[in-house]
Structure 1
């Protein structure tokens, strides 16, 4: 797992979400997480199903934020769980060994260690920078990635106000994927933004690949 990790915005406009997501996938985004905290159950099902079809077309995984049952219903590729969602162990037990289970670990290496023990596919750290989407009550130290890279045999995802410029030092410190919402979905040139993010990995001797 390496490259740009797309997280969808809280948009009710499904067509707009799909248009932007497709542009990003066509430009080389690696993975999509469907996250719409305010969606109704019907809208969530509609959007997730449409995104799954799109991801299948481009050969990229779709994971669902929090909703394990929706993942199971659609046959999506996995879930992402946070501190107030079900645990990694519960998600892994529900989905089995082959699905992606990502874990929010904030700025806490102990959480990442526990997630690894419980079967997480990757550990996500953040927020590193101020975010327009999620307000963090803390700032994660970039040096945490250096220690996490030494200890964990999991891909590391970074999130929180990411841009191609400020993500560079995090990739240098060991991040395998950069998660982005605003800096991809709200810009004029979606494809250009994706290419800028992916260039971070080639600049540091890594190659972007499908998850």
Structure 2
């Protein structure tokens, strides 16, 4: 069984690594992004990840600063997707990397022992093992269902969560991919600590109410 290099960090973040995990869409409208994010935080979202794959450096910096401020207001972790340099510049709470981004080991070395490092592991337990060994704070599995935002093969089996929790019960799991409350429920029942959502909150008429419905999964 792999040994996590950051057991102290895992213990420290055990409480914060649970609940509704919102991920921003590719919106260029910063005010709208911040407004909807704040509504979701009012509804009980626990973690915010800034992800905007088409933004240029200036817009990324502008949006990340604005989102970080609202996360500080609600005392919730603020995670940057992919851009380690931006994470360090803003002293964000953490970074999330995918399979095509920098390796977890390299990212952990860059950000140090105190930041959250999340790793996309898709439907691959070996990727999750490697990420855990190399210093990830949590692993993310998916996609489980078709997404309105991202195109990917929907091949991740639901049982991967329970398989992983048998192997690594203390390593937090985030699930992603086409999530709504009904689809997230069985994954939380199998042991997922976090449900990551984009359209299920950001594209809803009432993001605060949508967030509250997701929060019920964890009570």
Q: TM-score, normalised by structure 2?
A: 0.91
Instruction: Identify which of 101, 118, 126 aligns with 2:142.
Output: 126
Instruction: Identify which of 137, 150, 174 aligns with 1:157.
Output: 174
Post-superposition offset of 1:31 = 0.4
What is the root-mean-square deviation in Å for CA atoms of aligned residues? 0.7
Q: Distance in 2 between matches of 1:137 and 1:164?
A: 21
Work out whether 1:15 is the aligned partner of 2:9.
no
Q: Write out the 4+ residue segments of structure 1 that deviate beyond 3 Å after TM superposition.
A: none
| Counterpart residue number, 1:26 | 42
Instruction: Identify which of 104, 109, 122 aligns with 2:125.
Output: 109
Work out whether 1:54 is the aligned partner of 2:70.
yes
Q: How many residues align?
A: 202
Post-superposition offset of 1:27 = 1.4
| Counterpart residue number, 1:208 | none
Q: Distance in 2 between matches of 1:169 and 1:83?
A: 25
Matches within 5 A, 1:1-211: 1-152=17-168, 153-202=170-219
Give unmatched runs, 5+ long, in structure 1: 203-211
Q: Distance in 2 between matches of 1:200 and 1:158?
A: 13
Q: Distance in 1 between matches of 2:155 and 2:215?
A: 24
**The residue matched to 1:167 in structure 2 has which SS?**
helix
**The residue matched to 2:21 in structure 1 has which SS?**
strand
Q: Is the 8 A contact 2:146 2:154 kept in 1?
A: no
**The residue matched to 1:110 in structure 2 has which SS?**
helix
Q: Distance in 2 between matches of 1:66 and 1:166?
A: 26
Give unmatched runs, 5+ long, in structure 2: 1-16
**The residue matched to 1:32 in structure 2 has which SS?**
strand
